[in-house]
Amino acid sequence: MKLKTLLLGSAAAFAVVGGAQAADLSIAEPVDYVRVCDAFGVGYWYIPGTDTCIKIGGKVEFIVNFHSLSNLISGSTHSSTWNFVTEIGLNFTAKSMTEYGELIGYVALQSKYDNNATGTNNSTPVTLDGAWLSLGPVLFGHTGSIQNIDGGYSDNAWRPDNSVDQIRLSWAMSGFGIMLGIEDPRDRWGTSLSTTYTMPDIVAAITASQATWDGKLTAGWAQIGTGGVYGVAGSLTFKLDAIAPGDALRIAGAFGTGVPFLGMPGGIGVNGNTMWTAFASFQHYFSPTVSAALTGTYAADSTAGTSAWGIGANLVWAPVTGFSTKLQGTYVVNPSTATGVWAAKVAVKREW
């Protein structure tokens, strides 16, 4: 009997302990694992405990520059016509759905190590490359202007390319879109802007994205000095997959009286004069990993009688997703001064 009593007592003790452990497990906090978010495309994941999806992107690029002007390096004191540059970039995108549409926040940071840099140890401080937020069709913040158009598939395509503080409205339907915006003129005009300006830059664009072509037509007006200047720009991109997948031809041009609205090359163009630019760029894929591009550009200040032209070409090898190497060259001639400048670079880039 004593043995039986001992066994029954031990069993009861184990039952009590097991019950206590089970009770402890029942109140343990659940683990909130990171989950993939496929509502906004590839690369997003949910911030634990929220309905917000975040995506982190970036790049590291190493560049070797070659050029015919040694004074392109550090204040004209170097005789070398080459230099190394390392650039980095990071960007963060946060998205969530609301009853008013997508709520988006975007931040981009950049820096580089370069012997042209003015920071400590030849490196530039980390700077804000862009930051904006949007709710439905309304965007607020610093990013590329509505008035910009895409450049060529190789360098040396003169075009409007400005980043500005802005308020933007956008609508899209069936492959077509309309954008309207007001922008801070200090970001675009610098010292050309009168200290007595009263108006923001006013810009607008119409876009199209179809199966075989894309297009964009933009217009901008700004108050500088005692009057206003304007610019109109447009581009058409023809998708030539029938030649090879990824092949494309882009033609673009701009006309107006404001230099930044047209993206004029250095030394050509005076605000208030009648000016124009045009370029054509073709990209061809020899294989899914090897491509080449050729771009030709012309710009003229019709009022001043000055002009410039240039060509650019590149060869790109991208053996794996997110990695590419590029060999690129450009040549620019200002007919007014009969001078030409060539430049070339080799770049290795990792993007994610």
Is 280 inside a domain boundary?
A: yes
Residue 328 has pLDDT above 50, yes or no: yes
Asked whether 129 and 110 are in contact (CB, 8 A), the reply is: yes
* Position 81 confidence tier, pLDDT thresholds 50, 70, 90: confident
pLDDT reading at 46 higher than 70: yes
C-alpha distance from residue 288 to each of 245, 247, 291 (Å): 8, 11, 8
Distance CA 83, CA 117 (A): 12
Q: Which of 70, 105, 136 is the last residue of a domain?
A: 136
What is the band of 56 on the pLDDT scale with cuts at 50, 70, 90? very high
Are 56 and 147 contained in the same domain?
no
Confidence of residue 231 (pLDDT cuts 50, 70, 90): very high
* Distance from C-alpha of 211 to C-alpha of 237, rounded to nearest angstrom: 11
Does 144 share its domain with 283? yes
User: What is the 3 state secondary structure string of 299-340?
Assistant: EEECCCCEEEEEEEEEEEEEEECCEEEEEEEEEEEECCCCEE
Position 335 confidence tier, pLDDT thresholds 50, 70, 90: confident
User: Are residue 175 and residue 310 in the same domain, yes or no?
Assistant: yes
Cβ contact 12:4 at 8 Å: no
Q: What percentage of residues in the chain have a pLDDT greater than 70?
A: 83
Going by DSSP bridges, is the β-strand pair 213-224/227-239 parallel, antiparallel, or unpaired? antiparallel
**Same domain assignment for residues 238 and 330:** yes
CA-based nearest residue to 108, from 65, 55, 154, 147: 55
Q: Is the residue at 198 inside a domain? A: yes
Whether 142 and 132 map to the same domain: the answer is no
Is there a single domain that holds both residue 344 and residue 202?
A: yes
Domain match, 191 and 260 both: yes
Domain-terminating residue out of 102, 136, 170: 136
Asked whether residue 234 falls in the same domain as residue 314, the answer is yes
pLDDT level of residue 27 (50, 70, 90 thresholds): low
Query: Is the residue at 35 inside a domain?
Result: no
pLDDT tops 90 at residue 275: yes
pLDDT band at 198 (very low <50, low <70, confident <90, very high): confident
Sign, CA torsion 11/17/23/24: negative
Q: Is residue 292 part of a domain?
A: yes
- The number of distinct structural domains making up the chain is 2
Res 155 pLDDT > 50: yes
93-99 average pLDDT score: 96
Note the pLDDT of residue 29: 60
Q: Which of 67-76, 112-121, 287-296 has the lowest mean pLDDT?
A: 67-76
pLDDT for 196:
79
Residue 273 is assigned to a structural domain of this protein: yes
Q: Is residue 302 situated within a structural domain?
A: yes
Instruction: Give the CATH number for residue 88.
Output: 2.20.200
Q: Which domain holds residue 151?
A: 138-352
In a domain, 4, yes or no: no
Average pLDDT, the chain: 87
pLDDT confidence of residue 95? 97
Q: At which of 112, 136, 160 does a domain end? A: 136
Please tell me whether residues 118 and 180 are part of one structural domain.
no
Whether residues 150 and 123 share a domain: the answer is: no
The pLDDT assigned to 14 comes to 44
Q: How confident is the model at residue 249 (pLDDT cuts 50, 70, 90)?
A: very high
Asked whether residue 219 falls in the same domain as residue 122, the answer is no
313 and 206, same domain (yes or no): yes
Does 124 map to a domain? yes
Segment among 88-97, 203-212, 328-337 with least mean pLDDT:
328-337
CATH code assigned at 168: 2.40.160.10
